[in-house]
Amino acid sequence: MSKEELLDKLNVYLNDRQLAVQTKNGDADGFSVQKSLDSSLKKNTAFMKRCRTSLTADNYDLFIKEIKSLSLEKFVPEIILSITEGLSKCRSVKDIQAAVRIVFFLYQRFSVSFIRPLLANLYSMLYPSPADSISGNLSRSSSAVTVSESISNKGTSVNIAKTRALLRIFVEFWLHGLVHVPDDFKDFLPAVYASGKKFRKGLFEEKSLQTPLVVILVEDVLAAPSNFSLLPIVSSLVKSYKYELFSSDEALPGESEINKCINRVCDSHWRLQLRTSLGRYYQDLIGYIESRQHEFEEYRDQLSERDFLENTLEGTSNKAEDFLKSIEGDIANEMQDSFYKKREEVMSIQNNILNAEILVQTGAVQLWDSEEEHQFYETFPELPNLELAEKKSFETSGDQEVKAEASVEDSQKHTKPSKSVSVKIDNLLQALPNFMSAEQVDQAALEFLFLNTKASRNRVIKAFCNIPRTSSFLVPYYIRFARIMTPVAPDIASALVEHARGAFRRMMNRKAKHEYDTRTLIVRYISELTKFRLMSFSHVFECYKMCLLDFTSFDLEVLSLLLENCGRFLYRFPKSSLQISSFLEVVQKKKLAAALPSQEQLILDNALYFVNPPKTSSEKVRKRPLKEEFLRFILHIRLSETNLSATIALLRKFDWKADFEILYSTFMEVWNMKYECLNSFASLIASLYKTHPDFCIYVIDDTVDSLLTSIDSGSFGDSQKRLAQAKFLAELYCVRLLDVRSIIGILFYLLPPDKFQSILQFSPTAATNKENELFRLRMIALLLSTCGSSLVRSKTRKTMLTYLLAYQCYFLAQPEVPLDMQFEFDDVVPKVRPSMKVHKRFDEAWTALSERIQSGVDDHDQDDEDGGSILQSEKSNESENGHEANDWDDNEENEDSSDDSESEEEISMDMDDPELFNSEEELDEEHIHTMEIDEELSRMMNDSLSSRAHERGIAFDVPLPLRSTSGDTSFSDLNNLSTENEENVKFTLLTKKGNKQRSQVLDVPYHSVLAQSTKSRQEEELIERKRMKEMVLNYD
């Protein structure tokens, strides 16, 4: 770029900043529109669609024309969303510059009402998850690098391109004056219900609200983790904005006008800060290259990991060199010498390692997966140089001389020597089935060397050929024995080869499917003979080709066994590699043409995978500090109800200021804890709240924040994480640490907004993601089963009864649900509200919900626009423990129903009330003592309830009285009389005096508590019996 072009570019920035200030102050003279604006809906809709899909430099003139001619005031929110989506698709520099100019003209027309929400949306795209950085989001998206190198490179490049484009857009916005500091748009960032005005990014603290946004973003990029995945982005920023952001005080000596413009665009103080961060980033890069060099030396024996590290090291070095070339001035002069010196050291060490590996690969070490296999198949003991009579007879004499010599020996010697040899051979043959190691085989071979006669060899061959079918594990040891004896007795190996070939031909002709052990034994014979190189490759491939002739299920199974046993050896051996590769291609074609069943195809695919597995990298274990390991151990592994007090005592010994980050990260990972111990973890948080209330509030707020954010994302990989967080929040409500409105807010948040526009409007046919819908239902059932009983019996009973009907509508609107979810639905509603009817059809549930709303039960909540407004009028003053609520009886429920008539002023409570969470200084000793007493009382009640949960009640074993006189009225007549008189109900009272029992009929008022509770219990029992009967009859 020439000096004139640079000066023109800087002047454009300064002029645009002046226009932006005038627009912000309300001066609209800088941008003129036509007098009569076109309000056509079709043209306005086409403009928004073009903003979303075609925000490019080619359409720049058309955009400017439409901005001046169309009436867009009514569609500003839609235009903001369309522009946000269009900016996210821009990649080239030319398109980004054109898009920024278009946004600038829209800003001149609509002022801050347009630009501030747009900035908030773009910032949320750059930081999609709370408390994350740019590098954290990118490293999480590229975490698949250990699974597949090609996939990871593709995913990483896509995310780098997107992040680079968004950063360039923010920098251009800042240079043109559309944004200055985070304080310009922080109020428009998405806020979460439970955390109030908590911002999504931890960088936006009070001290950094007036820091230029570009400085914050660039420093966040330079603070990337140790993998330096954002190095291309850093190089792009430095290359594009080296004068505007990274230049020194005298960027161009002698050009005072240009230097003055640069100082006006970005103050020298911020440029010095960015240059300092850039130098520190480069030093970390040099250290990273050194660490990768050490890893390359460590994994030199692992081919896949070594190749991956080599490519990574080379790619990082090339990126670092490009980064260095993009820097000009004093910084480059300081860095250049150290970089090239370090690169030469790395490349020399890398070349030395590769040369050493080439020398190692000249042997057969790479044939085997481990050193033990290499020793077993390649290393054999040295036999002593003995001139045996039997060996001489083979080399120098014919068969007649052998017979004559043997007859002479038999005539001269008696049978005593032959008997001693025979006894030793018997002992050796008896020891053969006990071979369990290579050392035993070597010792037996040395012993047989001194007994080497033709008769002895025949007996050994016979023993080797008659291995039991279920003892195929002995084959490798027997073949090793034959391989050791090959120099002095080659007929043993040749006899075994002929035996294996004949047995394989007979097996392929018979195709006996039931003889699996025999097939395994014969294939093992051929495979071991191949590995010890006793069978020629032509004979081995003859066996392979026999399996391809008919390609039946039997042939396919034998082929799979051959590939699993010796296919990898043939593939790695240089002389057979090309032949087995072509054979595998033929197998693949046969497999595709044969249309095999799924089971047979799976067997063949596993065998082919075993022959040539894909390259995989070894998983690198993350090394955590010792203190963090101990904290994870006591929370994630050891935590339970029995050691809760001991765990709290250990946690109080931590330095909560110095170890805040470790404690915070460990406490936030609730999904790593045991699911059944989340109630204990909630009790632990409640205990720590006495001494560390701020920390507990941070953990609870961020957990709610993370849960609601992950619900919107709908990522299937975070399912277990979301379930654990929901369970944890429900347990927090049970221990009175979370407000009732927060739990109800999460419950209503799980109802999808596209179906529940309001509590009076429901759209069961809305197109939604089925997996997300089912997971929302699972989370609702989890929350209701954990703390639903307490919610129903609290001051929000009316809201929860309405919500249960809405939940039934939402569930019954699903076209298909799994069977386990159906059972869960049938159980959770009676568990939360036993007297509520569980509807089986959507029409019935929707009618019940409409009748409840129209009857005026929640008439004071209908002024709000959405169903979530129910929460604002029915507020709770305290929440009950969910474990205790399950044991409450119906009398207490009636008492709660009478409490609903209390005024709203007595039960209203604001989540943002500072008195709800007292600071550490306001907790006096008396208050702490009272909380400890409440905690101990609650623990005693829970222990008592849990101990009596499985107790059986004493059966009422009293015989009913029999009336001895006929003049008395029968029990059925009493029932008939009671139906005639609706004001009273007949009850029979049993009394006993001595050994005599008497009955007395009592008239109990129909509206009494005893009569109503008895009647409701009988109805519930009848409904339960009908439900169980339907479940049994409808069970498939």
Q: Is the pLDDT of residue 362 over 70?
A: no
CA distance 979 to 985: 8
Please report the pLDDT score of residue 224 as a whole number. 65
- Give ∠ CA 621-625-626 in degrees, rounded to 5: 110
CA distance 786 to 726: 10
Query: Is the distance from CB of 754 to CB of 708 less than 8 angstroms?
Result: no
Please report the pLDDT score of residue 904 as a whole number. 36
Domain co-membership, 784 together with 835? yes
Give 254's pLDDT tier (boundaries 50, 70, 90): low
Domain co-membership, 35 together with 184? yes
CA distances from 104 to 178, 240, 749, 987 (A): 7, 20, 36, 84
Please report the pLDDT score of residue 925 as a whole number. 53
Q: Is the pLDDT of residue 234 over 70?
A: yes
Domain co-membership, 599 together with 648? no
Q: Is the pLDDT of residue 646 over 80?
A: yes
Domain co-membership, 96 together with 180? yes
Q: Is the pLDDT of residue 980 over 70?
A: no
Q: Is the pLDDT of residue 522 over 90?
A: yes
Q: Is the pLDDT of residue 866 over 60?
A: no
Please report the pLDDT score of residue 483 as a whole number. 92
Is 991 in a helix, a strand, or coil? strand
Between 127 and 438, name the one with better pLDDT: 438
Is 370 in a helix, a strand, or coil? coil
| Mean pLDDT on 295-300 | 55
Q: Is the pLDDT of residue 298 over 70?
A: no
Please report the pLDDT score of residue 947 as a whole number. 63
- Angle of the 475-484 helix axis to the 516-531 helix axis, nearest 10: 30
Please report the pLDDT score of residue 492 as a whole number. 92
Please report the pLDDT score of residue 82 as a whole number. 92
| 684 closest CA partner among 921, 935, 888 | 935
Specify which of 196-200, 278-282, 737-741, 857-861 reaches the highest per-range mean pLDDT: 737-741
| Mean pLDDT on 708-730 | 84
**Paired tokens of 883:** 């474990």
Q: Is residue 401 part of a domain?
A: no
Domain co-membership, 23 together with 139? yes
pTM of full prediction above 0.75: no
Mean pLDDT of the chain: 75
What are the two backbone dihedrals, phi and then psi, of residue 205, each rounded to the nearest 5 degrees? -95, 175
- Angle of the 149-175 helix axis to the 76-89 helix axis, nearest 10: 130
Please report the pLDDT score of residue 926 as a whole number. 56
Give 1027's pLDDT tier (boundaries 50, 70, 90): confident
Between 537 and 998, name the one with better pLDDT: 537
Please report the pLDDT score of residue 414 as a whole number. 39
Letter string b/e over residues 919-943, b meaning 16 or more CB atoms within 10 A of that residue's CB? eeeeeeeeeeeeeeeebeebeeebe
**Paired tokens of 70:** 């169309």
pLDDT tens figures, 26-76: 775 566 788 888 888 899 999 999 999 989 999 999 999 999 899 888 889
| Mean pLDDT on 517-540 | 91
Q: Is residue 665 part of a domain?
A: yes
Is 1025 in a helix, a strand, or coil? helix
Which of 818, 849, 878 terminates a domain? The answer is 878
Please report the pLDDT score of residue 801 as a whole number. 85
Q: Is the pLDDT of residue 435 over 50?
A: yes
User: Which residue in the block uniquely carries the two structure tokens 């290393």?
Assistant: 379
Q: What is the DSSP letter of 737?
A: -
Please report the pLDDT score of residue 864 as a whole number. 39
Domain around 1014: 971-1033
Domain co-membership, 855 together with 791? yes
Query: Is the distance from CB of 556 to CB of 596 less than 8 angstroms?
Result: yes
Domain co-membership, 632 together with 499? no
* Across 142-156, 197-211, 279-293, 540-554, least confident range: 142-156
- Domains: count for the chain: 5
What are the two backbone dihedrals, phi and then psi, of residue 259, each rounded to the nearest 5 degrees? -65, -35
**Paired tokens of 178:** 């559309």
Which of 858, 878, 898 terminates a domain? The answer is 878
Please report the pLDDT score of residue 857 as a whole number. 45
Which of 281, 308, 341 terminates a domain? The answer is 281
Query: Is the distance from CB of 64 to CB of 47 less than 8 angstroms?
Result: no
Q: Is the pLDDT of residue 673 over 80?
A: yes
What are the two backbone dihedrals, phi and then psi, of residue 984, each rounded to the nearest 5 degrees? -125, 160
CA distance 960 to 962: 7
| Mean pLDDT on 498-515 | 90
Please report the pLDDT score of residue 243 as a whole number. 84
Please report the pLDDT score of residue 850 as a whole number. 83
| Mean pLDDT on 332-352 | 49
CA distances from 921 to 423, 693, 888, 926 (A): 94, 10, 37, 13
* Across 226-235, 663-672, 775-784, least confident range: 226-235
| 473 closest CA partner among 525, 426, 544 | 525
Query: Is the distance from CB of 22 to CB of 108 less than 8 angstroms?
Result: no
CA distance 684 to 644: 7
Domain co-membership, 805 together with 697? no
Q: Is the pLDDT of residue 479 over 90?
A: yes
Q: Is residue 689 part of a domain?
A: yes
pLDDT tens figures, 560-611: 999 999 999 999 888 888 889 889 999 988 888 888 888 888 999 999 998 9
| Mean pLDDT on 743-749 | 86
Using a 10 angstrom Cβ sphere, with 0-12 exposed, 13-18 middle and 19 or more buried, the burial of residue 139 is buried
| 124 closest CA partner among 186, 193, 209, 41 | 186
Give 994's pLDDT tier (boundaries 50, 70, 90): confident
Query: Is the distance from CB of 291 to CB of 328 less than 8 angstroms?
Result: no
Q: Is residue 348 part of a domain?
A: no
Q: Is residue 422 part of a domain?
A: no
CA distance 108 to 633: 58
Q: Is the pLDDT of residue 918 over 90?
A: no
**CATH number of the domain within which 242 lies:** 1.25.40.180
**AA letter at 900:** D
Q: Is the pLDDT of residue 248 over 70?
A: yes
Distance from the Cα of residue 315 to its chain's centroid: 29
CA distance 989 to 978: 15
| Mean pLDDT on 746-758 | 70
Distance from the Cα of residue 299 to its chain's centroid: 28
Domain co-membership, 148 together with 233? yes
Alpha helices in 793-912 (DSSP H): 797-812, 819-832, 842-854, 870-873, 882-885, 890-899, 904-907
- Return the H-helix or E-strand segment holding 608: helix 598-611
Specify which of 239-253, 528-542, 914-928 reaches the highest per-range mean pLDDT: 528-542
Query: Is the distance from CB of 289 to CB of 346 less than 8 angstroms?
Result: yes
Give 323's pLDDT tier (boundaries 50, 70, 90): low
Domain co-membership, 84 together with 133? yes
Please report the pLDDT score of residue 431 as a whole number. 87
DSSP result, 847-875 = HHHHHHHHTTTTGGGTTSSSGGGHHHHS-
Between 860 and 826, name the one with better pLDDT: 826
| 694 closest CA partner among 921, 920, 923 | 920
Q: Is residue 744 part of a domain?
A: no
Q: Is residue 1019 part of a domain?
A: yes
Domain co-membership, 95 together with 230? yes
Domain co-membership, 460 together with 582? yes
pLDDT > 90: percent of the chain:
17
Please report the pLDDT score of residue 344 as a whole number. 52
Q: Is residue 201 part of a domain?
A: yes
Give 921's pLDDT tier (boundaries 50, 70, 90): very low
* Across 207-211, 252-256, 328-332, 390-394, least confident range: 390-394
User: Which residue in the block uniquely carries the two structure tokens 């007549």?
Assistant: 973
pLDDT tens figures, 379-391: 888 887 654 434 4
pLDDT tens figures, 774-831: 888 888 989 898 888 888 776 778 888 888 888 888 888 888 888 888 888 888 888 8
Number of Cβ within 10 Å of residue 506's Cβ equals: 12
pLDDT tens figures, 12-28: 899 989 888 888 887 75
CA distance 530 to 543: 12
Please report the pLDDT score of residue 127 as a whole number. 76
Please report the pLDDT score of residue 340 as a whole number. 47
Q: What is the largest CA-CA distance in the chain?
A: 135
